[in-house]
Amino acid sequence: MSSKKLIPLKTSDDEEFKVNKSVKSEVIKSLLEEDVTEVQLKNFDQNFLKISHSELLDVHLAATYLDDKQSDEVLFQDFLDRITWKTLEEMHEVFRIMNDYTLEEEELVRRENAWAFK
């Protein structure tokens, strides 16, 4: 029996095959090596990233697992674009954070850290 760890990959037409875990990133790269223009890639990225925050996190985890730094950079930039200039209340909504401060505690935090709430 082989000591190498195999991971299963499944194509969009449901064909399954297994590859050595150490070459997972190279396999993905070779599958994507077609004559694709920068504009096509950018359009693909923009359309692909029209997903929910939780799906974006899942794709980020997959890119991290596959050691795909380029995809991770695109995902991270999209994430930053989504949260830039959001208010505290909007951030709570995006990350589904329940505010457990009382009104008095929240006011105290806002006064002590006024620079962050401008």
Residues 24 and 74 in one domain: no
Residues 67 and 96 in one domain: yes
- Tally of domains in the chain: 2
Instruction: Tell me the pLDDT tens digit for each residue of 27-40.
Output: 556 655 566 677 77
Residues 25 and 71 in one domain: no
Angle at 7 between CA 78 and CA 11, to 5 degrees: 65
Residues 75 and 107 in one domain: yes
Residues 82 and 25 in one domain: no
Per-residue burial over 96-105, b if 16 or more Cβ lie within 10 Å, else e, is eeeeeeeeee
CATH value at residue 54: 3.30.710.10
pTM: 0.51
Q: Where are the alpha helices (DSSP H) in 1-118?
A: 24-31, 38-48, 53-65, 69-83, 88-94, 103-112
Residues 49 and 106 in one domain: yes
The whole domain housing 42 covers 38-117
What is the distance between the alpha carbons of residues 69 and 75, in angstroms, rounded to a whole number?
Answer: 10
Residues 86 and 52 in one domain: yes
What is the distance between the alpha carbons of residues 53 and 95, in angstroms, rounded to a whole number?
Answer: 8
Instruction: Tell me the pLDDT tens digit for each residue of 91-107.
Output: 888 888 898 999 999 99
